[in-house]
A and B are shown apart, each in its own frame.
Chain A
Protein backbone atom coordinates (compact mmCIF):
# COMPACT_ATOMS: atom_id res chain seq x y z
CA UNK A 1 0.00 0.00 0.00
CA UNK A 2 2.66 2.51 1.00
CA UNK A 3 4.77 1.84 -2.08
CA UNK A 4 2.22 3.14 -4.56
CA UNK A 5 2.55 6.78 -5.57
CA UNK A 6 -0.09 8.92 -3.86
CA UNK A 7 -3.40 9.59 -5.63
CA UNK A 8 -3.73 12.92 -3.88
CA UNK A 9 -0.83 15.25 -3.08
CA UNK A 10 -1.60 18.51 -1.32
CA UNK A 11 1.24 20.99 -0.74
CA UNK A 12 1.46 24.41 0.90
CA UNK A 13 -2.23 25.21 0.56
CA UNK A 14 -3.16 28.76 1.63
CA UNK A 15 -6.59 30.37 1.58
CA UNK A 16 -7.37 33.86 2.83
CA UNK A 17 -10.83 35.36 3.23
CA UNK A 18 -10.14 39.08 3.53
CA UNK A 19 -7.91 39.42 6.58
CA UNK A 20 -8.69 35.95 7.89
CA UNK A 21 -6.28 33.16 7.01
CA UNK A 22 -8.59 30.14 6.85
CA UNK A 23 -5.98 27.66 5.64
CA UNK A 24 -2.28 28.22 6.22
CA UNK A 25 0.35 25.99 4.62
CA UNK A 26 -1.50 22.68 4.75
CA UNK A 27 -0.10 19.64 2.99
CA UNK A 28 -0.61 15.87 3.01
CA UNK A 29 -0.65 12.79 0.77
CA UNK A 30 -3.24 10.06 0.41
CA UNK A 31 -2.25 6.83 -1.30
CA UNK A 32 -4.60 4.42 -3.07
CA UNK A 33 -6.31 2.18 -0.53
CA UNK A 34 -5.72 4.61 2.30
CA UNK A 35 -8.16 6.53 4.52
CA UNK A 36 -7.00 9.85 5.96
CA UNK A 37 -9.05 11.59 8.65
CA UNK A 38 -8.95 15.39 8.44
CA UNK A 39 -9.90 16.53 11.92
CA UNK A 40 -10.48 19.91 13.51
CA UNK A 41 -13.07 21.81 15.54
CA UNK A 42 -15.52 24.15 13.80
CA UNK A 43 -13.69 27.03 12.17
CA UNK A 44 -10.38 25.18 11.95
CA UNK A 45 -10.38 25.32 8.17
CA UNK A 46 -10.89 21.64 7.43
CA UNK A 47 -13.98 22.17 5.29
CA UNK A 48 -12.15 24.89 3.40
CA UNK A 49 -9.35 22.42 2.62
CA UNK A 50 -11.96 20.03 1.24
CA UNK A 51 -13.47 22.80 -0.91
CA UNK A 52 -10.02 23.80 -2.17
CA UNK A 53 -9.31 20.24 -3.29
CA UNK A 54 -12.69 20.03 -5.05
CA UNK A 55 -12.16 23.42 -6.70
CA UNK A 56 -15.24 24.97 -5.08
CA UNK A 57 -12.89 27.61 -3.64
CA UNK A 58 -9.62 28.71 -5.20
CA UNK A 59 -6.50 28.69 -3.03
CA UNK A 60 -4.25 31.76 -2.78
CA UNK A 61 -1.21 29.52 -2.96
CA UNK A 62 -0.26 25.87 -2.98
CA UNK A 63 -0.65 22.81 -5.11
CA UNK A 64 -3.19 20.01 -5.40
CA UNK A 65 -2.13 17.06 -7.54
CA UNK A 66 -4.37 14.13 -8.39
CA UNK A 67 -2.45 11.16 -9.77
CA UNK A 68 0.42 13.53 -10.44
CA UNK A 69 -1.63 16.12 -12.37
CA UNK A 70 -1.69 19.68 -11.03
CA UNK A 71 -5.32 20.82 -10.62
CA UNK A 72 -5.13 24.10 -8.75
CA UNK A 73 -7.25 26.71 -10.52
CA UNK A 74 -9.32 24.20 -12.48
CA UNK A 75 -13.09 24.58 -12.37
CA UNK A 76 -14.88 22.14 -10.11
CA UNK A 77 -16.44 20.06 -12.88
CA UNK A 78 -13.07 19.43 -14.52
CA UNK A 79 -11.56 18.32 -11.24
CA UNK A 80 -14.55 16.01 -10.77
CA UNK A 81 -14.07 14.52 -14.25
CA UNK A 82 -10.37 14.05 -13.50
CA UNK A 83 -11.17 11.77 -10.59
CA UNK A 84 -12.23 13.59 -7.42
CA UNK A 85 -15.63 12.92 -5.83
CA UNK A 86 -17.27 14.67 -2.89
CA UNK A 87 -19.96 13.15 -0.67
CA UNK A 88 -21.89 16.15 0.65
CA UNK A 89 -23.21 16.20 4.18
CA UNK A 90 -26.39 18.01 3.18
CA UNK A 91 -27.61 17.56 -0.31
CA UNK A 92 -30.64 18.65 -2.22
CA UNK A 93 -31.68 15.59 -4.21
CA UNK A 94 -33.92 15.91 -7.25
CA UNK A 95 -37.34 15.57 -5.65
CA UNK A 96 -39.38 14.96 -8.77
CA UNK A 97 -37.12 12.03 -9.69
CA UNK A 98 -36.84 8.59 -8.16
CA UNK A 99 -33.85 7.34 -6.19
CA UNK A 100 -32.75 5.41 -9.25
CA UNK A 101 -32.87 8.50 -11.47
CA UNK A 102 -30.89 10.44 -8.88
CA UNK A 103 -28.17 7.79 -9.08
CA UNK A 104 -28.35 7.74 -12.88
CA UNK A 105 -27.60 11.46 -12.89
CA UNK A 106 -24.13 10.72 -11.55
CA UNK A 107 -23.54 8.29 -14.42
CA UNK A 108 -24.36 10.77 -17.21
CA UNK A 109 -21.68 12.32 -19.43
CA UNK A 110 -21.25 16.12 -19.41
CA UNK A 111 -22.71 16.42 -22.88
CA UNK A 112 -25.31 18.65 -24.50
CA UNK A 113 -25.98 16.17 -27.28
CA UNK A 114 -26.57 12.93 -25.43
CA UNK A 115 -30.34 13.10 -24.99
CA UNK A 116 -30.85 9.56 -23.73
CA UNK A 117 -28.68 7.77 -21.24
CA UNK A 118 -26.61 4.92 -22.66
CA UNK A 119 -28.11 1.49 -22.26
CA UNK A 120 -25.69 0.25 -19.59
CA UNK A 121 -26.53 3.20 -17.30
CA UNK A 122 -29.79 1.76 -16.04
CA UNK A 123 -28.27 -1.60 -15.11
CA UNK A 124 -25.26 0.03 -13.49
CA UNK A 125 -27.46 2.39 -11.44
CA UNK A 126 -29.54 -0.55 -10.16
CA UNK A 127 -26.40 -2.46 -9.26
CA UNK A 128 -25.06 0.49 -7.25
CA UNK A 129 -28.41 1.05 -5.54
CA UNK A 130 -28.41 -2.56 -4.39
CA UNK A 131 -24.79 -2.41 -3.25
CA UNK A 132 -25.48 0.47 -0.85
CA UNK A 133 -28.70 -1.07 0.44
CA UNK A 134 -31.21 0.97 -1.56
CA UNK A 135 -32.41 -2.00 -3.59
CA UNK A 136 -35.94 -1.91 -2.18
CA UNK A 137 -36.53 1.82 -2.52
CA UNK A 138 -35.11 2.50 -6.01
CA UNK A 139 -38.46 3.59 -7.41
CA UNK A 140 -39.40 5.83 -4.48
CA UNK A 141 -38.95 9.57 -4.33
CA UNK A 142 -36.27 11.00 -2.03
CA UNK A 143 -38.80 12.89 0.09
CA UNK A 144 -40.29 9.60 1.30
CA UNK A 145 -36.95 8.18 2.48
CA UNK A 146 -35.49 8.20 6.01
CA UNK A 147 -32.39 10.31 6.60
CA UNK A 148 -29.92 7.42 6.51
CA UNK A 149 -31.20 6.34 3.09
CA UNK A 150 -30.64 9.84 1.74
CA UNK A 151 -27.03 9.60 2.92
CA UNK A 152 -26.82 6.20 1.22
CA UNK A 153 -28.01 7.84 -1.98
CA UNK A 154 -25.21 10.41 -1.73
CA UNK A 155 -22.73 7.56 -1.27
CA UNK A 156 -24.25 5.80 -4.28
CA UNK A 157 -23.66 8.90 -6.41
CA UNK A 158 -20.01 8.96 -5.33
CA UNK A 159 -19.62 5.27 -6.13
CA UNK A 160 -21.21 5.84 -9.54
CA UNK A 161 -18.62 8.47 -10.38
CA UNK A 162 -15.85 5.99 -9.45
CA UNK A 163 -13.40 8.75 -8.46
CA UNK A 164 -9.79 7.97 -7.56
CA UNK A 165 -10.05 10.36 -4.62
CA UNK A 166 -13.20 10.35 -2.45
CA UNK A 167 -13.82 13.27 -0.08
CA UNK A 168 -16.48 12.59 2.55
CA UNK A 169 -17.84 15.46 4.64
CA UNK A 170 -18.86 14.40 8.16
CA UNK A 171 -19.67 10.82 7.22
CA UNK A 172 -21.62 9.98 10.38
CA UNK A 173 -23.46 13.20 11.20
CA UNK A 174 -27.05 12.50 12.19
CA UNK A 175 -26.78 8.71 11.99
CA UNK A 176 -27.62 6.15 14.68
CA UNK A 177 -25.00 3.73 16.00
CA UNK A 178 -26.27 0.89 13.80
CA UNK A 179 -26.21 3.10 10.72
CA UNK A 180 -22.68 4.24 11.55
CA UNK A 181 -21.65 0.57 11.29
CA UNK A 182 -23.20 0.23 7.84
CA UNK A 183 -21.59 3.43 6.59
CA UNK A 184 -18.20 2.41 7.96
CA UNK A 185 -18.49 -0.75 5.86
CA UNK A 186 -19.29 1.31 2.75
CA UNK A 187 -16.26 3.52 3.39
CA UNK A 188 -14.06 0.45 3.95
CA UNK A 189 -15.40 -0.71 0.59
CA UNK A 190 -13.84 2.39 -1.00
CA UNK A 191 -10.52 1.49 0.63
CA UNK A 192 -10.74 -2.13 -0.50
CA UNK A 193 -11.41 -0.98 -4.07
CA UNK A 194 -8.20 1.03 -4.00
CA UNK A 195 -9.63 4.55 -3.74
CA UNK A 196 -7.89 7.27 -1.74
CA UNK A 197 -10.36 8.46 0.91
CA UNK A 198 -10.42 11.71 2.90
CA UNK A 199 -12.84 11.81 5.85
CA UNK A 200 -13.55 15.28 7.19
CA UNK A 201 -14.91 15.34 10.73
CA UNK A 202 -15.04 17.34 13.96
CA UNK A 203 -13.33 14.89 16.25
CA UNK A 204 -11.00 11.96 16.22
CA UNK A 205 -13.26 9.67 18.23
CA UNK A 206 -15.93 9.23 15.59
CA UNK A 207 -13.55 8.18 12.81
CA UNK A 208 -10.78 6.53 14.87
CA UNK A 209 -11.85 2.99 14.03
CA UNK A 210 -11.86 3.70 10.32
CA UNK A 211 -8.84 5.82 9.44
CA UNK A 212 -5.29 4.78 8.66
CA UNK A 213 -3.90 8.19 9.56
CA UNK A 214 -5.21 11.43 11.04
CA UNK A 215 -4.31 15.00 10.12
CA UNK A 216 -5.46 17.42 12.83
CA UNK A 217 -6.01 21.12 12.10
CA UNK A 218 -6.60 24.16 14.26
CA UNK A 219 -6.82 27.82 13.19
CA UNK A 220 -6.03 26.84 9.62
CA UNK A 221 -2.81 25.03 10.50
CA UNK A 222 -1.58 21.51 11.05
CA UNK A 223 -1.32 20.69 14.76
CA UNK A 224 -0.70 16.95 14.63
CA UNK A 225 -0.43 14.04 12.26
CA UNK A 226 -0.22 10.30 12.85
CA UNK A 227 -2.35 7.33 13.84
CA UNK A 228 -5.66 8.02 15.57
CA UNK A 229 -4.18 6.97 18.93
CA UNK A 230 -1.16 9.21 18.56
CA UNK A 231 -3.30 12.18 17.64
CA UNK A 232 -5.72 11.59 20.52
CA UNK A 233 -2.80 11.49 22.95
CA UNK A 234 -1.17 14.56 21.41
CA UNK A 235 -0.92 17.42 23.93
CA UNK A 236 -1.74 20.15 21.39
CA UNK A 237 -4.82 18.31 20.21
CA UNK A 238 -6.03 17.83 23.77
CA UNK A 239 -5.50 21.52 24.42
CA UNK A 240 -7.39 22.48 21.26
CA UNK A 241 -10.42 20.40 22.17
CA UNK A 242 -10.37 20.65 25.95
CA UNK A 243 -8.50 23.91 26.33
CA UNK A 244 -5.70 22.33 28.40
CA UNK A 245 -5.61 20.08 31.42
CA UNK A 246 -8.72 19.67 33.51
CA UNK A 247 -7.21 20.52 36.88
CA UNK A 248 -7.54 24.28 37.13
CA UNK A 249 -11.22 24.45 38.00
CA UNK A 250 -11.98 27.02 40.63
CA UNK A 251 -15.03 26.56 42.81
CA UNK A 252 -17.33 29.47 43.32
CA UNK A 253 -19.73 29.93 46.16
CA UNK A 254 -23.13 29.88 44.58
CA UNK A 255 -25.91 31.95 46.03
CA UNK A 256 -28.12 31.18 43.06
CA UNK A 257 -29.43 27.88 44.37
CA UNK A 258 -32.23 29.55 46.26
CA UNK A 259 -33.37 31.70 43.35
CA UNK A 260 -36.39 30.70 41.24
CA UNK A 261 -35.71 29.16 37.82
CA UNK A 262 -35.64 31.67 34.99
CA UNK A 263 -35.55 29.20 32.10
CA UNK A 264 -37.11 25.76 32.17
CA UNK A 265 -36.74 23.42 29.22
CA UNK A 266 -38.73 20.18 29.36
CA UNK A 267 -38.55 17.15 27.06
CA UNK A 268 -37.35 19.23 24.14
CA UNK A 269 -37.01 17.36 20.85
CA UNK A 270 -36.01 18.78 17.48
CA UNK A 271 -35.97 17.05 14.11
CA UNK A 272 -34.07 18.38 11.10
CA UNK A 273 -35.91 16.73 8.30
CA UNK A 274 -35.33 13.18 9.37
CA UNK A 275 -32.29 13.68 11.53
CA UNK A 276 -32.85 13.81 15.30
CA UNK A 277 -30.97 16.90 16.48
CA UNK A 278 -32.29 16.90 20.06
CA UNK A 279 -34.04 14.14 21.97
CA UNK A 280 -36.02 14.82 25.16
CA UNK A 281 -33.64 17.40 26.57
CA UNK A 282 -34.58 18.93 29.92
CA UNK A 283 -32.64 21.63 31.75
CA UNK A 284 -33.10 24.53 34.10
CA UNK A 285 -31.34 27.85 34.59
CA UNK A 286 -31.95 29.82 37.77
CA UNK A 287 -31.90 33.58 38.06
CA UNK A 288 -28.35 34.88 38.21
CA UNK A 289 -26.90 31.49 37.49
CA UNK A 290 -24.15 30.67 34.98
CA UNK A 291 -24.88 27.35 33.34
CA UNK A 292 -22.59 25.67 30.82
CA UNK A 293 -23.77 23.13 28.28
CA UNK A 294 -20.70 21.28 27.05
CA UNK A 295 -20.54 18.85 24.17
CA UNK A 296 -18.57 18.23 21.02
CA UNK A 297 -19.55 19.86 17.73
CA UNK A 298 -22.67 18.26 16.38
CA UNK A 299 -23.99 17.24 19.81
CA UNK A 300 -26.95 19.62 19.52
CA UNK A 301 -25.91 22.74 21.46
CA UNK A 302 -26.73 25.22 18.73
CA UNK A 303 -30.04 23.50 18.07
CA UNK A 304 -30.92 23.79 21.76
CA UNK A 305 -30.20 27.53 21.73
CA UNK A 306 -32.04 28.08 18.47
CA UNK A 307 -35.09 26.32 19.90
CA UNK A 308 -34.97 28.59 22.97
CA UNK A 309 -34.67 31.65 20.73
CA UNK A 310 -37.65 30.47 18.68
CA UNK A 311 -35.67 29.88 15.49
CA UNK A 312 -36.49 26.19 14.95
CA UNK A 313 -39.72 24.23 15.46
CA UNK A 314 -39.68 21.79 18.37
CA UNK A 315 -41.78 19.54 20.56
CA UNK A 316 -41.68 19.79 24.34
CA UNK A 317 -41.90 22.91 26.47
CA UNK A 318 -39.74 25.97 27.01
CA UNK A 319 -40.74 28.38 29.79
CA UNK A 320 -39.02 31.69 30.46
CA UNK A 321 -40.03 33.27 33.78
CA UNK A 322 -43.82 33.34 33.64
CA UNK A 323 -44.09 32.90 29.88
CA UNK A 324 -44.49 29.85 27.73
CA UNK A 325 -42.27 30.55 24.72
CA UNK A 326 -44.19 28.25 22.40
CA UNK A 327 -45.75 30.17 19.57
CA UNK A 328 -43.82 33.35 20.28
CA UNK A 329 -41.84 34.77 17.37
CA UNK A 330 -38.07 35.02 17.56
CA UNK A 331 -38.42 38.81 17.72
CA UNK A 332 -40.85 38.67 20.65
CA UNK A 333 -38.60 36.26 22.54
CA UNK A 334 -35.61 38.56 22.04
CA UNK A 335 -37.62 41.57 23.24
CA UNK A 336 -38.76 39.44 26.20
CA UNK A 337 -35.19 39.35 27.47
CA UNK A 338 -33.32 36.45 25.84
CA UNK A 339 -30.36 37.57 23.76
CA UNK A 340 -28.49 34.93 21.83
CA UNK A 341 -24.99 35.48 20.66
CA UNK A 342 -24.76 32.90 17.87
CA UNK A 343 -21.81 30.74 16.98
CA UNK A 344 -21.58 32.42 13.59
CA UNK A 345 -21.66 35.85 15.29
CA UNK A 346 -23.96 37.30 12.64
CA UNK A 347 -22.44 40.75 12.75
CA UNK A 348 -23.44 43.37 10.22
CA UNK A 349 -20.12 43.19 8.44
CA UNK A 350 -20.39 46.38 6.42
CA UNK A 351 -21.41 48.51 9.39
CA UNK A 352 -19.07 50.05 11.92
CA UNK A 353 -18.55 48.70 15.43
CA UNK A 354 -20.58 51.60 16.83
CA UNK A 355 -23.46 51.03 14.40
CA UNK A 356 -23.60 47.36 15.34
CA UNK A 357 -23.79 48.27 19.01
CA UNK A 358 -26.37 50.99 18.42
CA UNK A 359 -28.54 48.49 16.58
CA UNK A 360 -28.41 46.20 19.61
CA UNK A 361 -29.54 49.09 21.82
CA UNK A 362 -32.18 50.32 19.39
CA UNK A 363 -35.06 49.94 21.84
CA UNK A 364 -33.34 51.86 24.64
CA UNK A 365 -33.84 55.56 25.30
CA UNK A 366 -30.92 57.74 24.26
CA UNK A 367 -29.84 58.28 27.86
CA UNK A 368 -29.86 54.64 28.91
CA UNK A 369 -28.23 53.66 25.63
CA UNK A 370 -25.33 55.98 26.36
CA UNK A 371 -25.08 54.56 29.87
CA UNK A 372 -25.15 50.99 28.62
CA UNK A 373 -22.53 51.82 26.01
CA UNK A 374 -20.21 53.35 28.59
CA UNK A 375 -20.57 50.24 30.76
CA UNK A 376 -19.88 48.04 27.76
CA UNK A 377 -16.74 49.93 26.80
CA UNK A 378 -15.50 49.38 30.35
CA UNK A 379 -16.09 45.66 29.89
CA UNK A 380 -14.50 45.52 26.42
CA UNK A 381 -12.10 48.50 26.18
CA UNK A 382 -10.94 47.33 22.75
CA UNK A 383 -14.37 48.06 21.28
CA UNK A 384 -14.14 51.69 22.33
CA UNK A 385 -10.94 52.23 20.38
CA UNK A 386 -12.41 50.40 17.36
CA UNK A 387 -15.75 52.25 17.27
CA UNK A 388 -15.39 53.63 13.75
CA UNK A 389 -13.91 50.48 12.23
CA UNK A 390 -15.95 48.28 9.89
CA UNK A 391 -17.00 45.10 11.68
CA UNK A 392 -15.79 42.84 8.88
CA UNK A 393 -12.20 44.01 9.28
CA UNK A 394 -11.96 43.18 13.00
CA UNK A 395 -9.92 40.18 14.12
CA UNK A 396 -11.77 37.02 15.16
CA UNK A 397 -11.49 37.82 18.87
CA UNK A 398 -12.67 41.39 18.44
CA UNK A 399 -15.60 40.21 16.36
CA UNK A 400 -16.60 37.84 19.14
CA UNK A 401 -16.43 40.63 21.70
CA UNK A 402 -18.53 42.83 19.45
CA UNK A 403 -21.10 40.06 19.07
CA UNK A 404 -21.32 39.66 22.85
CA UNK A 405 -21.37 43.43 23.25
CA UNK A 406 -24.24 43.81 20.80
CA UNK A 407 -26.22 41.16 22.66
CA UNK A 408 -25.55 42.95 25.95
CA UNK A 409 -26.80 46.24 24.50
CA UNK A 410 -30.23 44.63 24.49
CA UNK A 411 -30.00 44.47 28.30
CA UNK A 412 -31.09 40.84 28.32
CA UNK A 413 -32.20 38.92 31.39
CA UNK A 414 -30.67 35.79 29.89
CA UNK A 415 -27.58 35.87 27.70
CA UNK A 416 -26.99 32.81 25.55
CA UNK A 417 -23.42 32.42 24.31
CA UNK A 418 -23.02 29.79 21.64
CA UNK A 419 -19.44 28.65 21.38
CA UNK A 420 -17.73 32.03 21.82
CA UNK A 421 -14.27 30.41 21.63
CA UNK A 422 -14.83 29.18 18.10
CA UNK A 423 -11.68 29.63 16.04
CA UNK A 424 -9.99 31.89 18.58
CA UNK A 425 -6.34 31.78 19.61
CA UNK A 426 -5.56 30.92 23.27
CA UNK A 427 -4.46 34.43 24.19
CA UNK A 428 -7.84 35.81 23.04
CA UNK A 429 -9.60 33.16 25.11
CA UNK A 430 -7.97 34.54 28.22
CA UNK A 431 -9.21 38.05 27.47
CA UNK A 432 -12.67 36.72 26.79
CA UNK A 433 -12.61 34.70 29.97
CA UNK A 434 -11.68 37.77 32.03
CA UNK A 435 -14.45 39.78 30.41
CA UNK A 436 -16.98 37.10 31.33
CA UNK A 437 -15.68 37.13 34.90
CA UNK A 438 -16.14 40.92 35.09
CA UNK A 439 -19.58 40.55 33.57
CA UNK A 440 -20.57 38.16 36.32
CA UNK A 441 -19.19 40.35 39.05
CA UNK A 442 -20.72 43.61 37.90
CA UNK A 443 -24.21 42.53 36.80
CA UNK A 444 -26.95 40.17 37.98
CA UNK A 445 -27.14 38.68 34.49
CA UNK A 446 -28.02 35.02 33.87
CA UNK A 447 -25.82 33.22 31.35
CA UNK A 448 -26.28 30.03 29.37
CA UNK A 449 -23.01 29.06 27.69
CA UNK A 450 -22.55 26.37 25.07
CA UNK A 451 -18.98 25.19 24.66
CA UNK A 452 -16.84 22.42 23.29
CA UNK A 453 -13.85 23.87 25.10
CA UNK A 454 -14.37 22.50 28.62
CA UNK A 455 -11.62 24.53 30.22
CA UNK A 456 -13.24 27.71 29.03
CA UNK A 457 -16.69 26.54 30.11
CA UNK A 458 -15.98 25.22 33.61
CA UNK A 459 -14.37 28.07 35.59
CA UNK A 460 -17.36 30.36 35.23
CA UNK A 461 -20.06 27.76 35.60
CA UNK A 462 -22.30 27.12 38.57
CA UNK A 463 -23.60 23.99 36.94
CA UNK A 464 -22.71 21.91 33.89
CA UNK A 465 -24.75 19.82 31.51
CA UNK A 466 -23.08 17.40 29.10
CA UNK A 467 -24.83 17.02 25.76
CA UNK A 468 -23.92 14.01 23.63
CA UNK A 469 -25.63 12.82 20.45
CA UNK A 470 -28.74 14.97 20.97
CA UNK A 471 -29.19 13.92 24.63
CA UNK A 472 -28.23 15.28 28.05
CA UNK A 473 -26.08 12.49 29.46
CA UNK A 474 -24.69 14.14 32.59
CA UNK A 475 -25.50 17.00 34.94
CA UNK A 476 -23.60 18.32 37.95
CA UNK A 477 -21.13 20.90 39.26
CA UNK A 478 -17.77 21.66 37.66
CA UNK A 479 -15.50 19.80 40.15
CA UNK A 480 -17.41 16.56 39.74
CA UNK A 481 -17.36 17.03 35.96
CA UNK A 482 -13.59 17.27 36.04
CA UNK A 483 -13.43 14.20 38.28
CA UNK A 484 -15.94 12.01 36.49
CA UNK A 485 -16.01 13.06 32.87
CA UNK A 486 -12.59 14.50 32.12
CA UNK A 487 -11.09 11.42 30.56
CA UNK A 488 -14.00 10.13 28.52
CA UNK A 489 -14.96 13.45 26.98
CA UNK A 490 -12.85 13.41 23.83
Chain B
Protein backbone atom coordinates (compact mmCIF):
# COMPACT_ATOMS: atom_id res chain seq x y z
CA UNK B 1 0.00 0.00 0.00
CA UNK B 2 1.01 3.58 -0.60
CA UNK B 3 2.14 5.38 2.57
CA UNK B 4 -0.53 8.07 2.29
CA UNK B 5 -3.25 5.42 1.99
CA UNK B 6 -1.98 3.78 5.18
CA UNK B 7 -1.88 7.13 6.98
CA UNK B 8 -5.37 8.05 5.81
CA UNK B 9 -6.82 4.69 6.85
CA UNK B 10 -5.10 4.71 10.25
CA UNK B 11 -6.09 8.34 10.88
CA UNK B 12 -9.76 7.79 10.12
CA UNK B 13 -9.88 4.59 12.17
CA UNK B 14 -8.09 6.24 15.08
CA UNK B 15 -10.34 9.30 14.92
CA UNK B 16 -13.41 7.11 15.21
CA UNK B 17 -11.90 5.09 18.04
CA UNK B 18 -10.78 8.27 19.83
CA UNK B 19 -14.20 9.87 19.92
CA UNK B 20 -16.01 6.58 20.46
CA UNK B 21 -14.00 5.33 23.40
CA UNK B 22 -13.17 8.74 24.79
CA UNK B 23 -16.80 9.76 25.14
CA UNK B 24 -17.80 6.77 27.30
CA UNK B 25 -16.13 8.00 30.48
CA UNK B 26 -17.29 11.64 30.38
CA UNK B 27 -20.86 10.64 29.50
CA UNK B 28 -21.07 8.30 32.48
CA UNK B 29 -19.51 10.99 34.66
CA UNK B 30 -21.91 13.69 33.43
CA UNK B 31 -24.86 11.40 34.02
CA UNK B 32 -23.72 10.78 37.58
CA UNK B 33 -23.16 14.49 38.21
CA UNK B 34 -26.55 15.46 36.81
CA UNK B 35 -28.32 12.72 38.74
CA UNK B 36 -26.69 13.78 42.02
CA UNK B 37 -27.53 17.43 41.35
CA UNK B 38 -31.17 16.59 40.67
CA UNK B 39 -31.28 14.58 43.88
CA UNK B 40 -29.73 17.48 45.79
CA UNK B 41 -32.19 19.98 44.30
CA UNK B 42 -35.11 17.69 45.13
CA UNK B 43 -33.91 17.51 48.72
CA UNK B 44 -33.02 21.21 49.10
CA UNK B 45 -34.91 23.35 46.56
CA UNK B 46 -33.69 26.52 48.31
CA UNK B 47 -30.11 25.77 47.30
CA UNK B 48 -31.07 25.25 43.63
CA UNK B 49 -29.12 28.33 42.47
CA UNK B 50 -25.83 27.27 44.01
CA UNK B 51 -26.28 23.66 42.97
CA UNK B 52 -27.09 24.62 39.38
CA UNK B 53 -24.06 26.87 39.13
CA UNK B 54 -21.77 24.22 40.55
CA UNK B 55 -23.38 21.64 38.28
CA UNK B 56 -22.71 23.71 35.15
CA UNK B 57 -19.10 24.31 36.09
CA UNK B 58 -18.48 20.67 36.96
CA UNK B 59 -20.26 19.49 33.82
CA UNK B 60 -17.93 21.69 31.78
CA UNK B 61 -14.93 20.27 33.63
CA UNK B 62 -16.07 16.69 33.00
CA UNK B 63 -17.01 17.46 29.45
CA UNK B 64 -13.59 18.87 28.65
CA UNK B 65 -12.16 15.33 28.52
CA UNK B 66 -14.62 14.50 25.75
CA UNK B 67 -13.80 17.81 24.07
CA UNK B 68 -10.09 16.90 24.05
CA UNK B 69 -10.97 13.63 22.32
CA UNK B 70 -13.07 15.56 19.81
CA UNK B 71 -10.25 18.02 19.12
CA UNK B 72 -7.76 15.16 18.64
CA UNK B 73 -10.06 13.35 16.21
CA UNK B 74 -10.72 16.57 14.29
CA UNK B 75 -6.98 17.20 14.05
CA UNK B 76 -6.46 13.63 12.81
CA UNK B 77 -9.05 14.09 10.08
CA UNK B 78 -8.73 17.72 8.98
CA UNK B 79 -5.25 18.83 10.05
CA UNK B 80 -3.22 15.66 10.16
CA UNK B 81 0.41 16.63 10.81
CA UNK B 82 1.75 13.47 9.14
CA UNK B 83 0.45 14.48 5.71
CA UNK B 84 3.33 16.94 5.37
CA UNK B 85 5.85 14.12 5.81
CA UNK B 86 4.20 11.95 3.18
CA UNK B 87 2.71 14.26 0.57
CA UNK B 88 5.96 15.50 -1.05
CA UNK B 89 7.12 11.88 -1.35
CA UNK B 90 3.83 10.74 -2.79
CA UNK B 91 3.57 13.75 -5.08
CA UNK B 92 7.06 13.56 -6.54
Pairing of A with B:
no
Tell me the A residues contacting B by CB distance below 8 Å.
Answer: none
